[in-house]
Amino acid sequence: MPRFLPEPPHRHGNPASTAVVLVNLGTPDKATAPALKRYLREFLSDPRVVEIPKPIWWLILNGIILNVRPRKSAAKYASVWMPEGSPLRVHTERQAKLLKCLLGERGHHLTIAYAMRYGKPSIASVLTHLKAEGASRILLVPMYPQYSSSTTGTVVDEAGKWLLQLRNQPELRYIRNFHDDEGYLAALEKSVRQHWQVNGKPGENDRLLISFHGLPKRSLDLGDPYFCECHKTGRLLAERLGLTSEQYQICFQSRFGKAEWLQPYTAPTLQEWGQKGIRRVDVICPGFVADCLETLEEIAQEGRDDFLAAGGKEYHYIPALNEDDAWIKALADLVERQLGGWSPREAVDPQALETSAREAFKFGART
């Protein structure tokens, strides 16, 4: 077997071509048990995601989890599935198109694509396609504001595995995190304030819950910065909103297994607040820049049921940034800074601007 993948035909005299790839976690192809089984096998087989000795974990994964969890997860996915497909894939694809429009308006000639770490389109397949199209500079944008070994780390791993297969490697950069980025925080603040304009600002006996995806506590003990970066995001957002420490709480969701995870946990906090007479809860999930199963089902549905069943009166989920114009601008700013000379601005073709505006209108970014 050849050590390297075949190289595309070399084209002399072509200028360097730059591509940007948005990378999100991943999604099953369909909301069915077989599709979930394929997806979960890939996801849960990643040693950065589950740090249990491989022989032991193989028995647990293949003997128990993949025989029980796919059907339950498929039902949950079905409850949030969009006509165009998985919410995470739909929103990520729209973000890529809007980013291309905005960067084009700013004079950049870039190829913008998206990939999923688990499922399709895979990182390797997208990078291979871009290279075949002539991309010699590629910027990876993991769509995780807070760095973790099990998210951004595994994206970089996968890109590195792809590079190992190449004889003629392109230049590769990646954005490590943006948990305290001014544009990202401004977009979060805007989303909360818009929500308050519609639903009223929370009263003295109301709370804002800032919920992040959880990780095993062991990850923090071993040096993963995720916990600290989540707290910084939450604190900076609360400061921008003018909230006191009593008016908000940072929590962690999506526990799995019996090991201790990062605390406090989201679901028990909602139940405790309902029991203590907290009237209203607004929930935002800053770790997700696109709505997905964890936000639309776990937080918007299960979280609501937990809080109301415990005695709460009013519950609101504040949607992820998705196609919000402030977020697309912040994303474009992040990309521009990281490109650092790869893509000098050029005069903009008026026809390209017109096309850009039409695409932006189509996806509702200019509302």
Report yes or no on 216 lying in a domain: yes
Q: How many domains does the chain have?
A: 2
Q: Are residues 113 and 225 in the same domain?
A: no
Q: In what order do the strands lie in the sheet with 206-213?
A: 248-253, 206-213, 280-284, 314-317
The answer to whether 92 and 143 are in contact (CB under 8 A) is yes
Q: Which residue has the tokens 């906090």?
A: 269
User: In the structure encoding, which two tokens stand for residue 125, read together?
Assistant: 């397949």
Q: Clarify whether residues 119 and 266 are in a common domain.
A: no
User: Using an 8 Å Cβ cutoff, are 37 and 130 in contact?
Assistant: no
Q: Residue 347: its pLDDT value, please? A: 54
Label residue 341 by pLDDT band (50, 70, 90): confident
Q: What is the pLDDT of residue 209?
A: 98
pTM for this entry: 0.92
Please check whether residues 251 and 151 belong to one and the same domain: no
Residue 367 located in a structural domain: no
Q: State the pLDDT at residue 176.
A: 98
Q: Is the bond leading into 264 cis (omega within 30 degrees of zero)? A: yes
Residue 221 shares a structural domain with residue 123: no
| pLDDT at residue 220, rounded to an integer | 96
- What is the span of the domain harbouring residue 235? 182-317
Average of per-residue pLDDT across 306-316: 98
- C-alpha triplet 21, 234, 207: angle, nearest 5°: 130
Rg (CA), the chain: 21
Same domain membership, residue 186 and residue 173: no
Cβ-proximal residues to 25 (8 Å cutoff; 6+ apart), any chain: 88, 116, 117, 118, 151, 292
Do 37 and 146 reside in the same domain of the chain?
yes
Q: Say whether both 45 and 118 belong to one domain.
A: yes
- List Cβ neighbours of 198 (8 Å cut-off, separation of 6 or more): none
Phi and psi, residue 212, nearest 5°: -115, 155
Query: H or E element: which one contains 106?
Result: none
> How confident is the model over 262-281, as pLDDT tens digits?
999 999 999 999 999 999 99
Q: Would residue 6 count as lying in a domain?
A: no
* H-type alpha helices, 81-166: 87-105, 123-132, 152-164
How far apart (Å, rounded) are the C-alpha atoms in residues 78 and 63?
25
Peptide bond into 121 cis (omega under 30): yes
Residues 125, 261: one domain?
no
* Assigned domain for 300 exists: yes
| 213: β partners | 253
Residues 50, 162, single domain; the answer is yes
What is the mean predicted confidence (pLDDT) over 316-321? 98
174 with 192, same domain: the answer is no
Domain CATH for 292: 3.40.50.1400
Q: What phi and psi values does residue 140 have, to the nearest 5 degrees?
A: -90, 135
> What DSSP element (H or E) covers 283?
strand 280-284
- 280 and 358 part of one domain: no
- For residue 365, the model assigns a pLDDT of 39
Percent of the chain with pLDDT over 90: 86
Structural domain includes residue 2 = no
| Phi-psi category of residue 257: left, alpha or beta, with phi > 0 → left and psi -120 to 50 → alpha | left
Same domain, 51 and 74: yes
Percent of the chain with pLDDT over 70: 93
In a domain, 286, yes or no: yes
Task: Enumerate long-range contacts of 61-65, CB under 8 Å, 24 or more apart.
Answer: 65/40
Domain boundary at 317, 333, 350, which?
317
Q: What is the pLDDT of residues 87-141, one digit of tens each?
A: 999 999 999 999 999 999 999 999 999 999 999 999 999 999 999 999 999 999 9
What's the CA gap between 274 and 281, in Å, rounded? 9
**Per-residue model confidence as pLDDT tens digits over 285-303:** 999 999 999 999 999 999 9
Residue 281 inside a domain? The answer is yes
How many Å apart are CA 22 and CA 2, to the nearest integer? 30
Note whether residue 10 is domain-resident: no
Dihedral of the alpha carbons of 133, 350, 344, 334, in degrees to the nearest 10? -90
Amino acid at 66: L
pLDDT tier, 315 (very low <50, low <70, confident <90, very high otherwise)? very high
